[in-house]
Structure 1
Amino acid sequence: MDCDGKKKSLLVDLDGTLLGSVGAVVPQSEYEWNGDPRHGVGDYRIPKVMLTALNGSRIPVSQIAPNKGVIRDSSCTYMSSWQAYKCFSMNYRMLVIESLDSDSETRRLSPVAVLGSGYIDLLNGPQDHGWCSGYTCQKRVSLFHSIVATNKSYDVFFTSTSPQKLRLMLLNAKPTESVVVAVFYSNPQRLDVYVNKQLVAPTNAQWNAQRTDYTLLEPTYTGQYVPKLSSLIGSNFFDPDYKMLYVLVQGSTPVEIRTSPVLFIAFNLPAMTEAEFFGDTLVANLAAFLRVPTNMIRISKIIREGSARRRRAAGLTVQVAIQQPPTIQTTTNSTSDVEQFQVLKNITDNLGQAAVTGSLSQSIGFNVSSMGVVPPSPPPSDPSWSTVADQTVTREDPVVQTVRSVSSLTVVVEPVAGYNPGPLFTQPSIMAVDQQGECVSVGVTTLTITAVLKDTRGNEVDGLYGNTTIPFSSCWANYTDLAISTTGENMTLAFTLNNWMTQSRSFTVKSVPSTVSATADSSSTTATTSIPGSTTDGNSVFDSSPALKIGTVYTLMLLSVLHLLYCVL
């Protein structure tokens, strides 16, 4: 795909001396759309999530974006010699979209789609500025320039996961010129908007008495809280259904969007009605158990399970959000996001371990049958961020990991032994399950499982190496590099997670097969070891000389001595 340099050049005629009247020249950004594949521009480069409806169906490109390139109107005329358009009724400005994440130079965000008034424009960003010509060292700043018309609304979709820190700005814009930009976030946490380092609360925010935190009001009709073009700069609203953050960009003042990590918990409380449930008690008990302030815990939704006739028996699902209150004024301390994530990660571990061991109900004072967890997103500086960032961008909600008391461990994939020494032919996979045999997501905790090798009497023996202690992923513990350096029959692998144990079926480990052949005469014996797949019979076409037996060698030596004596005499 072409770099954006020449395709995002904007010329504004302020007094009409160039175009004959006040206007602008905008490039033919859609050049070779669905044409020459070397330019890499076409419908196939549009981020798939932009063409996906809420029900998962595909939206035709002709329906959502019938026009391509920079937004235009009937006043625009194409100039073939310029390979550009001259327009007279639209007020064009450059919209800057910049990632402020630490991986801005290495993680690919483009193509970035900008959609407005039926026109779609694809942004690729600047040229690679890496120091070598190889692909592995390519570096490209995630800085995109889009040509937009003011007093319009635009949707922005990244091809990969949206940056956690994003800056939007109109270049050389007057204070009265504005646009509404809606950015898609596939896995939204809490999105805080800042202007001049000051927090701009969402338009549906309801502050507490101390104005230290707020709750979000539900809209009563579509578009109620979406910022207007006449709103204050930074006005914002997040639509949880479409996962779009609407924010007003005005003048040349930058607007920053920062993602704050949030831990989402859902407690399933059986045999409890809404009238019997006291939210303040749950919040206080959780805060005491986790040793955090109560203002970090908020009940976001209470869902009654079952029909009205059976509500008393069905119980409740209480959804809780755990997060730090928003920062009113930003600082240059880049470790705050890391610290917030670490706090929430520890909270997840504490709650998860309590649920796995069956002590959660006693710890929080409510009878909890199961707990759903959506872990917080790690910051870009965390090693686990690459796994999150590389996930396919969709409109689907994050996967809820269910945690409940573990009943047993099950070896789903049995190990198959190889030769000694060497890795297992088939690596084992162990699943943590409850009493009903359903998956228990131990992976939300820091709990690990350990494998040991046992002999036929059940005694632990040496000889197992590789990563014998590994964490869980969801409810699975998948080994990848176990190997055995000993031999034996009816051996087993035993797996331990805290007080839960299980073991594999028995197997036999044999040494590398060998064959021994002896050729003897009166004084010597020769032994030859054969490796499977090799040739040792002396008849290989790759041999430098034929194989000779010991007797033949002695005969040749005797003949050589007789020949030497004959020559001397």
Structure 2
Amino acid sequence: MLTDDDGSKKDVTLWAPNKGIIRDGSCVRDDAWLLDICAGIKHELVIFESLDEDTTDRRIGPLGVRSDTGYIDLINGPGSYKGDHGYASVDRPSLYHTILAADHHYEVAFTGTLPLSNRVIMPMGDDDVFVTISLFVGRMQRIEVYKNGMLVRPNNAQLDKGGSFTYMFPDQRFIPNIDDGVLLQHGANYFDRNAMTLHLALRGNEDLVLKTSQTLIINMDTVMEMTPEELYSQKSLGPILASILGVSDKNVKVVNIGQSSTRRRRSIGSNAAMLTFEVGSMASMGGLKARSMGLNDDIDIDALNNLQRKIIEAKTVCTIKSEMKAKLNMEVVRISVNGVDQEQQVVHDDMRSEDVFNPFDGMSSKTVSMPTDLSIFREPELKLKIGEKFATQPWIQVLDENGARVVVNGLSISAKLVAADSQVQEISAKQFRKNAKKNRSEQETENSVQGVVLTGRTTINVDQDGLAKFTDLGISGAFSGSGSVALEFFLDGSGMQICGMGTSSMIKRSSAIDIKDETSNAVHCTKGMARASDFLRKKKKGGGGGEFVSCANLGLSGLKTIIQDLLVGNFIRLRTNGVVSSIRKEQIGSLSLANNELTDSDELRELLSHLPALSNINLSNNNFTEFPADLFNANRALANFDLKGNPTTTLQPGFFANMKISKKSKFIMPCSLETIPVDVLLDKKIVKSFLKAAKFC
């Protein structure tokens, strides 16, 4: 009562300069009786009563009553109920007796939340006694007025042929006016949803029952070319939303239009407005549904609960936005939904849990703005050792156009590892779906950066606070030692296509992360141009066949360290002129392991299985006594090898089965070799090429 609709505080000395029951110049003070006798005013008793089940448990008073002449009165209700007395009484019914004056208008407000069901009665009023009141409700759900069990049609409602109410464009002319006198009808009413106030006329002594409708209120901040009046008259608005929600269009009505809260810049000639829909089953009127003609159109509390959850899902938000744009050229900027308590299951203020959101709490509200940006709410730890998790896990928030956090179900944020100095690249929804079909090994290969990969749960749903809170991100692998990495966060899944927006602004990157790799036994090879002597053949002009990597002359007795780098980081470490770097496995076309002390052919086979692009391999001058038949099974492009200097006496059948043997191939055999696989000699297709390619001592 003390604030205007715009939130500004009223000057009480001007707004309510007088206290107590209304008086005027005709009032004469009787000190003996401590009262005023007012010949010019007809005072009437008006009773406000809560009909809710908790009427004796929940205090909603004091009740404030202000007359149109500036008199304000506070009514505290009865003092006892079960024999206990005074203000501290535990059980006191919410029953308030007020003294109002006929032919005057009053503003009325409870201190607590208005009960879902109330009775108002002027028990001693005659038919020629009129009072109008404006009762502040505090919620946007429609207040239905019943007289003798029959619904009183609101002043702004029209009953169409289907028995459904259609609400006319909001206007102050629908408010019952005390100046109308004998024209006022008992129970005449108008609910101003912008002010959340019920305007009501009282005449005579029949009681009125006020019931809060069990419905959802959906508000949409919109920007459009048409005027608010033109928008409100669009008959397709309700059916569009009903179709999206999967309910009968009889259960969805446009009930209000008001001032938009969006701050989005509008082009010249455009308008902004807040459009209000009501969703749910409607009251009975003369045995017929006021808005519905069949029982199948009923929507119970559980169904409303499900609808509320559906409305704030990303998919629904996106559909509403796209449908309104396509069919009415109207841009929906923000959506909010309000619910109410289940009747006879009121949630009291002192019973509410901060951790549990009740969609039908009397003051509940969920607002869904359109996502336009991501922001890193909490940066990850910027120094990390290989194999560890981030000590500080990142939190990412989704923001709207005003920088406010977006709360919407169905959005998720993914994280990936990138080189800190690389350019941000937009990921299309199509590319995301393509990546999702890849197996884990393929994804890790592509997501490896500088030899390390991101571990843990890399996709997190946005929670009810609008945050994606990562919990177990870490880094594993074998860091190449060059450059630094960063975490990049982006909308994925349905979020990639949210409301048709692109994803360029939906990507955020962390600060550079310093990686510490404490591996002490790392093997560093070199990269360069292969010499003719490396494979006993000249390379084609311009190179070709991938990069040449030499791990020769390193005194290697095993390959486990190199295999580990390939397995975890998909690379081989390099050191060139003292500078440490790495080369990815798919880039390696030629490899030299010559002049080492290698003996384990099974280890060699595992190493080669990670190098599918390999076409040349030099294994000369090692200590291999045998080579398995499937040594080169993973190397379908292999055309040249050098085995000289190894104490091998025989090659197993099938050794050459998967090789790319041609006239240009070169196979350098060990001098100790005594036999060759007979199967290669029996294959007429390759025997000539083999005999030309093979070089024996």
Whether the TM-score (by the shorter chain) exceeds 0.5 is: yes
Q: Does the alignment pair 1:374 with 2:336? A: yes
Pairwise CA distance, 1:220:
7.5
CA distance in 2, matches of 1:112, 1:132: 22
Alignment partner for residue 258 of structure 1, among 211, 216, 224?
Answer: 211
CA distance in 2, matches of 1:227, 1:200: 21
Matches within 5 A, 1:60-209: 60-116=11-67, 117-127=69-79, 129=81, 138-209=90-161
CA distance in 1, matches of 2:12, 2:200: 25
Pairwise CA distance, 1:77:
3.7
Q: Do the aligned partners of residues 402 and 136 (structure 1) sit closer, same or farther apart at CA in structure 2, a change above 3 Å counting?
A: farther
Q: Does the alignment pair 1:294 with 2:294? A: no
Q: Which residue of 2 aligns with 1:353?
A: 313
Q: Which residue of 1 aligns with 2:456?
A: 460
Partner SS, residue 244 of structure 2: helix
Pairwise CA distance, 1:281:
4.6
| Kept in 1: contact 2:146–2:208 (CA 8 A) | yes
Partner SS, residue 249 of structure 1: strand
Pairwise CA distance, 1:499:
6.5
Q: Do the aligned partners of residues 440 and 282 (structure 1) sit closer, same or farther apart at CA in structure 2, a change above 3 Å counting?
A: farther
Matches within 5 A, 1:381-530: 386=349, 401-404=367-370, 406=371, 410-413=375-378, 430-433=396-399, 438-439=403-404, 441-443=406-408, 445=409, 447=410, 458-460=454-456, 471-473=463-465, 476-477=466-467
CA distance in 2, matches of 1:251, 1:425: 73
Q: Does the alignment pair 1:235 with 2:188? A: yes
Q: What is the count of residue pairs matched by the alignment?
A: 423
Structure 1 alignment gaps of length 5 or more: 1-49, 391-396, 417-423, 462-467, 508-569
Pairwise CA distance, 1:248:
1.8
Partner SS, residue 201 of structure 2: strand
Q: Which residue of 2 aligns with 1:421?
A: none
The structure that has the greater radius of gyration is 2
Q: Do the aligned partners of residues 252 and 285 (structure 1) sit closer, same or farther apart at CA in structure 2, a change above 3 Å counting?
A: closer
Pairwise CA distance, 1:408:
6.6
CA distance in 1, matches of 2:26, 2:232: 63
| Kept in 2: contact 1:402–1:440 (CA 8 A) | no
Pairwise CA distance, 1:362:
5.5
Partner SS, residue 171 of structure 1: coil
Provide, for residues 497-527 of structure 1, a one-character-per-residue CA deviation record: whole Å limited to 9, x for no partner. Answer: 96779999999xxxxxxxxxxxxxxxxxxxx
Structure 2 alignment gaps of length 5 or more: 288-295, 354-362, 382-389, 416-451, 477-486, 496-506, 515-697
Provide, for residues 444-472 of structure 1, a one-character-per-residue CA deviation record: whole Å limited to 9, x for no partner. Answer: x4x587999xxx964439xxxxxx99941
Q: Do the aligned partners of residues 228 and 182 (structure 1) sit closer, same or farther apart at CA in structure 2, a change above 3 Å counting?
A: farther
CA distance in 2, matches of 1:276, 1:64: 36
Pairwise CA distance, 1:183:
0.9
Provide, for residues 153-173 of structure 1, a one-character-per-residue CA deviation record: whole Å limited to 9, x for no partner. Answer: 222122233333221111233
1:58 is aligned with what amino acid? K
CA distance in 2, matches of 1:54, 1:398: 20
Q: Do the aligned partners of residues 478 and 160 (structure 1) sit closer, same or farther apart at CA in structure 2, a change above 3 Å counting?
A: farther
CA distance in 2, matches of 1:429, 1:132: 54
2:369 is aligned with what amino acid? V
CA distance in 1, matches of 2:394, 2:265: 43
Alignment partner for residue 275 of structure 2, among 296, 299, 319?
Answer: 319
Q: Do the aligned partners of residues 222 and 179 (structure 1) sit closer, same or farther apart at CA in structure 2, a change above 3 Å counting?
A: closer
Partner SS, residue 289 of structure 1: helix
- Percent identity over the alignment? 22
| Kept in 1: contact 2:43–2:102 (CA 8 A) | yes
CA distance in 2, matches of 1:292, 1:262: 13
| Kept in 1: contact 2:156–2:174 (CA 8 A) | no
Provide, for residues 363-420 of structure 1, a one-character-per-residue CA deviation record: whole Å limited to 9, x for no partner. Answer: 6654775442231231265677749999xxxxxx99893432x46754414589xxxx
Q: TM-score normalized by structure 2?
A: 0.48
Pairwise CA distance, 1:195:
0.7
| Kept in 2: contact 1:95–1:145 (CA 8 A) | yes
Q: Do the aligned partners of residues 415 and 107 (structure 1) sit closer, same or farther apart at CA in structure 2, a change above 3 Å counting?
A: farther
Partner SS, residue 346 of structure 1: helix
CA distance in 1, matches of 2:258, 2:44: 46
| Kept in 2: contact 1:95–1:147 (CA 8 A) | yes
1:328 is aligned with what amino acid? S
Question: Which deviates further from its counterpart, 364-373 or 55-64?
Answer: 364-373
CA distance in 2, matches of 1:378, 1:164: 9
CA distance in 2, matches of 1:235, 1:346: 34
Q: Do the aligned partners of residues 111 and 448 (structure 1) sit closer, same or farther apart at CA in structure 2, a change above 3 Å counting?
A: farther
Q: Do the aligned partners of residues 385 and 212 (structure 1) sit closer, same or farther apart at CA in structure 2, a change above 3 Å counting?
A: farther
Q: Do the aligned partners of residues 248 and 347 (structure 1) sit closer, same or farther apart at CA in structure 2, a change above 3 Å counting?
A: same
Partner SS, residue 312 of structure 2: helix
Question: Which deviates further from its counterpart, 77-86 or 275-284?
Answer: 275-284
Matches within 5 A, 1:51-66: 51-66=2-17
Q: Do the aligned partners of residues 68 and 289 (structure 1) sit closer, same or farther apart at CA in structure 2, a change above 3 Å counting?
A: closer
| Kept in 2: contact 1:378–1:385 (CA 8 A) | no
2:338 is aligned with what amino acid? P
Provide, for residues 42-82 of structure 1, a one-character-per-residue CA deviation record: whole Å limited to 9, x for no partner. Answer: xxxxxxxx232345443333322232222234444434444
What root-mean-square deviation, in Å, do the aligned CA atoms of Structure 1 and Structure 2 show? Answer: 5.6
